[in-house]
Structure 1
Amino acid sequence: MTEFPEGIESGFAAARQIADAVLLEGYVLYPYRASAAKNRLRWQFGVLVPPEYTAQGGEHSHQRTECVMEARQDDRLAVELRFLRVQRRTVERATATGGFEPVERLELADRVLVEWDEAVEERIEILVPVEELMGEGVQQGFRLPGVGETELLREDGTAVGRLVRRREQVDGVVRLKAEELPGPYRAQRLTAVVENASTWIPRRRTPREEALPRALVSAHLLLGLEHGRFLSVTDPPEWARPAVERCRNEQTWPVLAGPDDGCKVILSSPIILEDHPKVAPESLGTLYDATEIDEILALRTAALTDEEKREARGTDARAGAVIDLAESMPPEVLERLHGAIRGLREISAGTPDGEQPWWDPGNDPAVDPERDEVLVDGHAVAAGSRVLLRPGRRRTDAQDLFLAGRTGVVEAVLHDVDGSVHLAVTVEDDPGADLWRAQGRFRYFQPDEVTPLEES
């Protein structure tokens, strides 16, 4: 392994907490069992497949990172490529003759084992003087050879089966290049390209499952400067904005990372993040499903049946760790996951000249949601009006598209602080409409998404 300078390594160590979340995002989803439908199609982020497979699978064989840096004289750039390598695991049962035979399922006392794709973390590390990146730049290829191994399973001292694991050969290359930018400031544009260089030739209509063991999964980069600094891609200084806007990033997005909101480390991730991302301090462990709320996942996981937990433990060691975490979480820790206040600011109780404060529209006498009207196609629409629903495709709630052509009743005309008008609507013939109305829960449409209906 490459030994990075202490300053770079400390920055990488702080950034790896976020990088680990990127690396394992979606690795195994609740309910953490191989048999669950959502765990049948995995590896959705940063998958770099062999070049010959791109035409079949629609995925990419490379990712490109470009950013602006201010490297100092005699500076060095550290690069850490991190990805998962798929390890295919099959299950065999011991036979009466002393051999083993493949099975779909093997039940042990504490777990249920099935075929599963595990993952092994891989790192490719590079340390290079910035001056060597000028001109043609540098490139470093790597090869991870195929390997197989077996794990014997015993119960009460007797062999009951074994796990057979296989990793395929994976080839890749990292290309690094820098160029000086014009202007009074000494800055450079850095380009880092990661490519899957495997020569594997797939058959026609080869399923994705056969390409994955030869892919770089969840591939991302950590970039660090020994003395210089990187500039933000989203909020650069004005003098660097034109150069930053010309940067081209493909299948990845670079953000500032590292300790204390510093600028010496870049995390280039296949998941879009903001500068200096952080893991919530309330989070106690990796749940592999960052699109869900930790509290919900912990409660649901703890509520799994004993049989479901046995299958989860047999699916993967990481899934088993989630089960153990949910079972051991004390109430006071779970309560911390319910919510947190990150900061408070004082809001004045009054405004000049008696003006209604923008943050308190509920007390504004100029608006009355139950009596206000809005003109739609020349007709006044207010609470109680019947309308035909025509949700537009620009809406963020795709579920509303299913209501196209249905009729509804306007419950309120609402004005937001930006001056936009929204109609709160209950859907006619909805058996739960009275319940939604009692709870104040409605569907919301803009005036151009409804057609007024004449009263019969």
Structure 2
Amino acid sequence: MNGFPEGIERGFAAARQIADAVLLEGYVLYPYRASAAKNRLRWQFGVLVPPEYTAQGGEHSHQRTECVMEARADDRLAVELRFLRVQRRTVEQATANGQFEPVERLELADRVLVEWDEGVEERIELLLPVEELTGTGGQQHGFRLPGVGSTELLHEHGTAVGRLVRRREQVDGLVRLRVEELPGPYRAQRLTVEVENASTWTPRRKTGREEALPRSLVSVHLLLGLEHGRFLSVTDPPEWARPAVQRCRNKHTWPVLAGADGDNRVLLSSPIILEDHPRIAPESLGTLYDATEIDEILALRTAALTEDEKREARGTDDRAGAVVDLAESMPPEVLERLHGAVRGLREITGDSGPEQPWWDPGGDPTVDPERDRVLVDGRSVGAGSRVVLRPGRRRTDAQDLFLAGRTGVVEAVLHDVDGSVHLAVTVEDDPGADLWRAQGRFRYFQPDEVTPLEES
């Protein structure tokens, strides 16, 4: 039980569902087995490594959150630093003489056990008067998590067949906080919170990331709460606060308002970019460790794993086993809920016929793909223009690079919702050009990726 005031704890409780998704983002991905390639390179978000490892590993040892808040007199700031601590698990098999020896794989009746790095949740909680952080250079709070080890015996039919050996290394950290009063007619402050890995571990030359992870803070994020005041949005602040918000500098983290129902007393500073007041879909029944959204396909694929694959998933991690159990126990009517949901309805009055979709060019009388033209190198280009293709390297479709120097015919000039212009093109001398044209399938280039061949 923590010492947060009831109002702050209520706000934190609502925000923790999103914070948990941040904490476990990518923790173990489908097919939820240690042998899967994507589960061999983990811990991609919010990793703070020991300071001595930063130059060698290219990762950072600190993060900084800056935001603008309106704290009231005698207000208190609640800080909940949350992260995972890597716990290395090895597997040992029992021998005939009653000893144990390390093995890569141990098969049991219900699971297959292998070496694995587990994530243990850690929380550092602070409750501080705002006035003590103002005008004094702030405060610094250190913490130490000692190294610990444990052993779990494994039995089958009453006989010890092996054991799991777990080890956590010592991790030291710092939390620095300061508050600055902002000038102006409104009572507002800039809050800065820095989190740093302060471990004194010195890596050997060419030490790998796997050795640094047990001494790191993983998936680091902050929950910040005010007892009476409020935080201002980083992306949509009130006009009077916009200059102050723009001067905030956040490093390796992104703060968003996270209170329920528009409550601005809670802020989540996350290594993953989110929108203000993010929510988990109410249809979601459990964590799939893949972002903040439900995924029907993940549930279906998990339920379709073979029995051997499920045994390996259960032996990989307790959280992976819970996903398998969830998929197996999901009744059809619950799975159907994951297929889609209507978030809002609006009334349609009158008999104006079917409404055109917002993305249909025909819905905007100011554009006409077949008649619109665009200037390229001072020449007017539109449907029927012949051009030389010069695809740029910034394009994501590598196949278009093979068309460099070929000629094509512009079929339409298209405008997207972001205001960009695209040319729909068929390639000359392509034996399938007439078929692509009939089906409305084209190659797409931006105006600076073509050179006009003739006046049009």
TM-score (norm 1): 0.88
- Output aligned runs, 1:100-179, within 5 Å: 100-134=100-134, 135-179=136-180
Deviation at residue 298 of structure 1 after TM alignment: 1.2
What's 1:277 paired with? 278
Q: For residues 292 and 439 of structure 2, what CA distance do their matches in structure 1 show?
A: 27
SS at match of 1:14: helix
Q: For residues 447 and 117 of structure 1, what CA distance do their matches in structure 2 show?
A: 50
- Output aligned runs, 1:2-401, within 5 Å: 2-134=2-134, 135-290=136-291, 294-346=295-347, 361-362=361-362, 382=383, 389-395=389-395, 398=396, 400-401=397-398
- 1:244-271 CA deviation, whole Å, 9 max, x = no partner? 1111111111111122210111111111
Contact 2:280 2:293 in 1 (8 A): no
CA change 1:339–1:173 in 2 (3 A) is same
Contact 2:70 2:188 in 1 (8 A): yes
What's 1:415 paired with? 414
Stretch of structure 1 that moved more, 233-242 or 265-274: 233-242
Q: For residues 432 and 298 of structure 1, what CA distance do their matches in structure 2 show?
A: 40
Contact 2:47 2:60 in 1 (8 A): yes
Deviation at residue 30 of structure 1 after TM alignment: 1.1
Q: For residues 63 and 98 of structure 2, what CA distance do their matches in structure 1 show?
A: 49
Q: For residues 429 and 206 of structure 1, what CA distance do their matches in structure 2 show?
A: 56
Q: How many residues align?
A: 446
Contact 2:373 2:413 in 1 (8 A): no
Contact 2:374 2:413 in 1 (8 A): no
One-letter amino acid of the structure 2 residue matched with residue 5 of structure 1: P
- 1:291-326 CA deviation, whole Å, 9 max, x = no partner? 886112112222222221111111111111111112
Unaligned segments of structure 2, at least 5 residues: none
CA change 1:253–1:154 in 2 (3 A) is same
Q: For residues 32 and 441 of structure 1, what CA distance do their matches in structure 2 show?
A: 38
Q: For residues 147 and 55 of structure 1, what CA distance do their matches in structure 2 show?
A: 28
Q: For residues 293 and 370 of structure 1, what CA distance do their matches in structure 2 show?
A: 40
One-letter amino acid of the structure 2 residue matched with residue 40 of structure 1: R
Deviation at residue 289 of structure 1 after TM alignment: 1.1
SS at match of 1:86: strand
CA change 1:19–1:441 in 2 (3 A) is farther
- 1:16-69 CA deviation, whole Å, 9 max, x = no partner? 000000000010111111111111111011100111111111111111111111
CA change 1:449–1:167 in 2 (3 A) is same
What's 1:404 paired with? 401
Contact 1:408 1:425 in 2 (8 A): no
Q: For residues 283 and 161 of structure 2, what CA distance do their matches in structure 1 show?
A: 41
Contact 1:370 1:411 in 2 (8 A): no
Unaligned segments of structure 1, at least 5 residues: none
Contact 1:2 1:126 in 2 (8 A): no
Q: For residues 99 and 225 of structure 2, what CA distance do their matches in structure 1 show?
A: 52
- Quote the sequence identity (%): 83
- 1:315-340 CA deviation, whole Å, 9 max, x = no partner? 11111111111222222222222222
What's the Cα RMSD here?
Answer: 3.1
Deviation at residue 102 of structure 1 after TM alignment: 0.4
Deviation at residue 278 of structure 1 after TM alignment: 0.6
TM-score (norm 2): 0.88
